[in-house]
Structure 1
Amino acid sequence: MRRVCLTLPTHRECAATIAAVSEEAAYGAREFGVEVHLLVLDSSPAPVLAAHRAAVAALPPAPGVTVHHLDEDGQRGFLREAIGRSAAADPDRLLELLLPARVSYGACTDRAFLIAQALGCTSVHRRDSDSRYQSFEGRPVFPLHQELTFLGRPADEVKGRATRHRVAPGTGDRPVAVVGGSFVGEMSVDIAEIHDRDPDVYRELVGLSIPDDCPAIWRGHLVEESFRGAGDTAFDGDRTTLAPVSPTRVDMCNVALDHEVYSRVPLPPATDTIGTDYFLLGLAHDARLPGVQHNRHIVNFHTAERRTDAGFLAYQLRFARFLLAKTYLNAVHARTTAAGDTLLDGENRLRPSAVAEFVRESLARDPEENAHRLGTIERAYRRLGGRYAEVADALAARRDTLPAEVRGGMADFAFLLDHWQALTRACADTGLSVTR
């Protein structure tokens, strides 16, 4: 029986989301006859963790669904055993990258990939704690429906099920590697207030995320489109496009990846940096792996924690680090775009060695480039005034260290790439027995 992993990483209260995602798991098992492993990776503080344990314990049993709720101690124990089996040269560094003390959007998903390997799953389907499902005709709109319909099957085999398709010649035998939708509701990145306060500063900051060689005719359009998802588009019936999926068209709260992608290449484990978890989406697109974009968009919302002074500052600093990381990520993307089909081996699988080479090449960039970029970001925040000036002060205090930290995050990614396949093989041998 096909086995899949529906995962919800969290570090904040989301009992309602746990219940909703469990309904999606039951739907997948019931409608598609698959075995669904619902994996809640919980890094929440103790009181919230206790509430989540109660929420998981209260979930009604569903045929074909197994629930795994792992706190950080449980995750750490699993990782230690798997890393030990992998015979990594520096196990402590590997463990720190995969389970860092600080927030890492890439590392939490990497842990889901590894545990899915241990569970024998053929795919990972990711949701987020700050989102919920749309409804249509009185029923929740579950993205899992499209994910299970298309993922892992050769493009030529499923193109008749898609509303439209663009399967390039010579790629029809490649399996669908990515299935994703976007979101409606609040922006995925909490910068709407910046746009309202000063549209010019907004364009300057968001523009830093776009490659420098992007034609001017496209730049303004991309700035306006970034982080907005599907806007306020309500679901009114299924529409799907079979083609390599652009990472700008889907959201990580609403995406599924085939194991042939994540078992070979991980996500960057950078800490306190938004956006790095989209790396595999861009890589699959550049390699011309088929994907499916659907319109079962998830509803995004911002939690109350982001509105606190501490939450606001932390999130804006994560956004700033993302803008610095894009110096390296855009350089890698330029190489993967040029590489195209050569990113794949003779069996249409990603070549990790090629990706690692491009990541290491990006590290040769002049450090002054990011020092200058940090100055631009700092000045932009200072022009916004108010509490944004506090962000500028925090960036100024880190002026001598932040660019090196961001570069170090990419060096860590290269290290993880070198060890990833041995680690995923070790996870398959390790297995996982913890449930509920």
Structure 2
Amino acid sequence: MHRICLTLPTNRPCADTISAVGAEAAHAAEHFGADVHLLVLDSSDAATFAVHAKAAAALPPTPGVTVHHLDETAQRGFLREVVDRSGAADPDTLLDLMLPDAVSYGACTNRAFLLAAALGCTSVHRRDSDSAYQLLDGKPVFPVHHELRTLGRRAADAAGAVTDAPLDPVHAEKPVSMVGSSFVGELSVDIGEIRALDEELYYRVVGLWARAGASEEERRELVDDSFVGAGTEPFTADRSVLDLPDIWRVDMCNIALDHDVYERVPLPPATDTIGSDYFLLHVVRDATLPGVVHNRNIVNYYTPERRTGPGFTAYQLRFTKFLLSMLYLYPVYSDLEEALGALLDEQHHVRADAILDSVRRSIGADRAENLRRLAVLDHCYRQLGGKYRDFADHLAPRRGRLLDEAQADAEAFARLIEAWSPLVRASRAVGLARPAR
């Protein structure tokens, strides 16, 4: 029996999503015999948490499904015990990396990884609060259908459970380490309004996350492929491909990872930085671990606060920090691509030490490229005018601090990789008590 962690991190109202993910958990238990731990990691305010608690309590009792709804106090209590037990030299700093005061897409998923280890789960299946399931003949299309058919299985054994298996036989003995799909609907990053206002400026802004030295053609190809997911094509029939995964067709709202990946390498804990939770997709692909990419795409939608006032400013800041994070991530991605299968040991386990060395080397990167990114972003936003010009005014006096934060985020990632294995062992030892139902 698979014991899995189906997790929903949230910091906003999403009672309907909790109900929908609860239905997916029941489907996994009823149709696949899985022992499902539905883990809602809730950073919402007290009033919203109370609404979520009612939604979680209202989920129909299902054999094989256990619901855990944890606020930040409960999460912090668990993490404090884990960090202390791990013997970390600087436990308070480590605790801050796992549960920072600011939004961190990587940190919330890292918490799910440690809680999954505490629960004895062999995989983590992540969904997002601003997404929903497609319907076919009035019934929801659950990604867990593909995830439980193949994840963790030897690739040779999983080949019969997909519609296409072009995987090179040299990888047949390796485990399927990732199963994922994308989304349909709105762009995953809320920048569609920029494209509507000025398409050429959109290409300049989004192109800022290309590698330094990329040609204009490469930048435009990157922009065309960025944040669009699977477009708007509705689900009509299953398609699934077993191969070294095309990570451009996978999003973190629709992914499952095997424990042998996330228990060895965490995600970057960068704060206020979109995209900080995608690192392990690169690890799986470049380590030549098999994955399954399917077409049970989730529906993406936006919450209103991203587009006005403080919510707009906060989200655009997260996008800016994403652009700056590339200075430190691209050298690591290049090292991963060059290493390929050398990232695995003889048991097909990811070598965290090699990744740690690469992250450490990236910390000294020349900041000139990030200065250029900030200058171009300032110019483009001022040309867009209105709230974008106002954001440029907001950003200008903060440039130096943002440059420092981008480097500090890389340093924090190295610190967390170094501490990760003891944290996972401590999580297993600490465990997590089952709730009353």
TM-score, normalised with respect to structure 2? 0.98
Q: Is residue 112 of structure 2 the alignment partner of residue 112 of structure 1?
A: yes
Show the 5 A alignment for 1:197-276: 197-214=197-214, 216-276=216-276
d(CA) in 2 for partners of 1:434, 1:88: 27
Percent identity over paired residues = 55
SS at match of 1:44: coil
Deviation per residue, 1:294-341 (Å, 9 max, x gap): 000000000122133111111011001000001111111011000100
d(CA) in 2 for partners of 1:304, 1:285: 35
SS at match of 1:88: coil
* Contact 1:246–1:282 under 8 Å retained in 2: no
* Contact 1:103–1:271 under 8 Å retained in 2: yes
Name the amino acid aligned to 1:32.
F
Q: 1:165: Cα distance to partner?
A: 1.6
Q: 1:399: Cα distance to partner?
A: 1.4
d(CA) in 1 for partners of 2:327, 2:412: 16
d(CA) in 1 for partners of 2:213, 2:257: 29
d(CA) in 2 for partners of 1:346, 1:214: 35
Q: Provide the residue aligned with 2:414 in structure 1.
A: 414
Show the 5 A alignment for 1:104-183: 104-183=104-183
Q: 1:214: Cα distance to partner?
A: 4.4
Q: Provide the residue aligned with 1:328 in structure 2.
A: 328
d(CA) in 1 for partners of 2:283, 2:211: 16
Q: 1:384: Cα distance to partner?
A: 1.1
Residues 335 and 213 from structure 1, CA distance in 2 versus in 1: closer, same or farther, beyond 3 angstroms? Answer: farther
Q: Is residue 352 of structure 2 the alignment partner of residue 352 of structure 1?
A: yes
Number of residues paired by the alignment? 436
Q: Provide the residue aligned with 1:287 in structure 2.
A: 287
Q: Provide the residue aligned with 1:45 in structure 2.
A: 45
Show the 5 A alignment for 1:54-93: 54-93=54-93
d(CA) in 1 for partners of 2:249, 2:216: 20
Point out where structure 1 has 5 or more consecutive residues left out of the alignment: none
Name the amino acid aligned to 1:424.
V
Q: Is residue 179 of structure 2 the alignment partner of residue 193 of structure 1?
A: no
Q: Provide the residue aligned with 1:316 in structure 2.
A: 316
Name the amino acid aligned to 2:22.
S
d(CA) in 1 for partners of 2:211, 2:121: 36
Name the amino acid aligned to 1:406.
A
Deviation per residue, 1:342-396 (Å, 9 max, x gap): 1111110101110011111111211233223222222221111110012111210
d(CA) in 1 for partners of 2:399, 2:209: 19
Show the 5 A alignment for 1:375-414: 375-414=375-414
Q: 1:216: Cα distance to partner?
A: 4.9
Q: 1:217: Cα distance to partner?
A: 4.4
Deviation per residue, 1:149-197 (Å, 9 max, x gap): 0100011111122211221242110000010010001110000000111
d(CA) in 1 for partners of 2:188, 2:164: 27
d(CA) in 2 for partners of 1:352, 1:292: 23
* Contact 1:247–1:278 under 8 Å retained in 2: no
Q: Is residue 371 of structure 2 the alignment partner of residue 371 of structure 1?
A: yes
TM-score, normalised with respect to structure 1? 0.98
d(CA) in 2 for partners of 1:86, 1:162: 40
Point out where structure 2 has 5 or more consecutive residues left out of the alignment: none
Q: 1:48: Cα distance to partner?
A: 0.5
* Contact 1:246–1:281 under 8 Å retained in 2: no
Q: 1:215: Cα distance to partner?
A: 5.5
Name the amino acid aligned to 2:422.
A
The CA RMSD over aligned residues, in Å, is: 1.1
d(CA) in 1 for partners of 2:173, 2:213: 33
Name the amino acid aligned to 1:31.
H
* Contact 1:131–1:301 under 8 Å retained in 2: yes
d(CA) in 2 for partners of 1:158, 1:285: 17
d(CA) in 2 for partners of 1:378, 1:245: 36
